[in-house]
């Protein structure tokens, strides 16, 4: 079955993007948001595709070809802004409609990210052509570029670092409303304390910590909490997902401190 939607994780590989700060790089934040949305749309039984699932380099031609040839009707291209400003921006084609961008910004605002603007842009020397290649070269696919906030704005950066899952979910909700698709919230609310990881989550996250988790898995995860090696409850919902490098390092550190008595 052809996907209804294709998600584009902007930048990647040798292209880090411009929305970077001490807390995250744009390419990694884009990937985290996109993988989260990809898994959620699968949970909602909405046919979906994605341009990249790892930190790989895609040229503009490769990226837009994937979108054009995906069979999808819609594309959401995820990005983080920079350059001075505050809030989300949604950019749509000069041949498109502001309806989906308006819904996206309404949901992002409800999730804690203020709106900056919704707009279109043309090439300086051709008012009949879109400025951004994700609009200009994706054919008949209705593509919107979502800039979730400004990496160089302290308030936006803090919201993104601590609440990116809720922002990603807001766009899912907006798309379902727009495309008249059934929506249900995630089983566990997005954690406001989970930072973006540099290690992408797998395309198939297993059962996601649902009610059918085998007893031996629960025994292992519960022991990690009992020993205080894990403290963030979000990992109880991610039993079958690999821990990111920073989490593994914290566990090793806490094990070492327990063994040595903090010496």
Distance CA(14)–CA(59), nearest Å, equals 10
Question: How would you list the strands of the sheet with 74-81, edge to edge?
Answer: 48-50, 5-9, 74-81, 142-150, 88-92, 115-119
Q: What is the pLDDT along the chain (263 residues), one digit of tens a residue?
A: 899 999 999 999 999 999 999 999 999 999 999 999 999 999 999 999 999 999 999 999 999 999 999 999 999 999 999 999 999 999 999 999 999 999 999 999 999 999 999 999 999 999 999 999 999 999 999 999 999 999 999 999 999 999 999 999 999 999 999 999 999 999 865 555 444 444 443 344 434 434 455 666 766 777 776 776 766 666 666 667 777 777 777 778 777 766 766 55
Tell whether pTM > 0.75: no
Range list of H helices, the chain: 26-43, 60-68, 99-110, 133-136, 154-179, 215-226, 245-260
Q: What is the CA radius of gyration of the chain?
A: 19
Distance CA(3)–CA(47), nearest Å, equals 4
Rounded (10°) CA dihedral 173, 192, 39, 226: -140
Distance CA(24)–CA(163), nearest Å, equals 13
**Residues in CB range of 227: below 8 A, 6 or more apart:** 254, 258
């Amino acid at each position: 079955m052809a996907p209804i939607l294709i998600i584009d994780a902007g930048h990647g590989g040798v292209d880090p993007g411009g929305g970077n700060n001490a807390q995250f790089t744009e390419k990694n934040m884009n990937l985290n948001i996109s993988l989260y949305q990809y898994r959620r749309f699968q949970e909602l039984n909405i046919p979906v595709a994605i341009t990249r699932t790892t930190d790989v380099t895609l040229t503009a031609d490769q990226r837009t070809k994937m979108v054009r040839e995906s069979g999808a009707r819609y594309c959401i291209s995820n990005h983080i802004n920079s350059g001075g400003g505050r809030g989300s921006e949604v950019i749509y084609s000069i041949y498109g409609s502001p309806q989906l961008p308006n819904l996206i910004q309404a949901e992002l605002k409800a999730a804690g990210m203020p709106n900056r603007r919704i707009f279109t842009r043309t090439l300086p020397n051709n008012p009949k052509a879109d400025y951004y290649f994700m609009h200009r070269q994706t054919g008949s696919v209705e593509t919107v570029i979502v800039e979730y906030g400004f990496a160089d704005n302290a308030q936006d950066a803090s919201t993104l670092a601590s609440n990116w899952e809720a922002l990603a979910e807001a766009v899912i909700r907006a798309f379902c409303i727009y495309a008249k698709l059934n929506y249900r919230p995630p089983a566990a609310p997005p954690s406001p304390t989970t930072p973006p990881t540099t290690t992408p989550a797998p395309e198939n996250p297993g059962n996601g910590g649902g009610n059918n988790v085998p007893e031996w898995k629960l025994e292992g995860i519960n022991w990690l909490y009992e020993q205080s090696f894990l403290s963030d409850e979000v990992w109880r919902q991610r039993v079958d997902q690999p821990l990111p490098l920073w989490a593994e390092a914290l566990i090793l550190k806490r094990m070492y401190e327990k063994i040595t008595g903090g010496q």
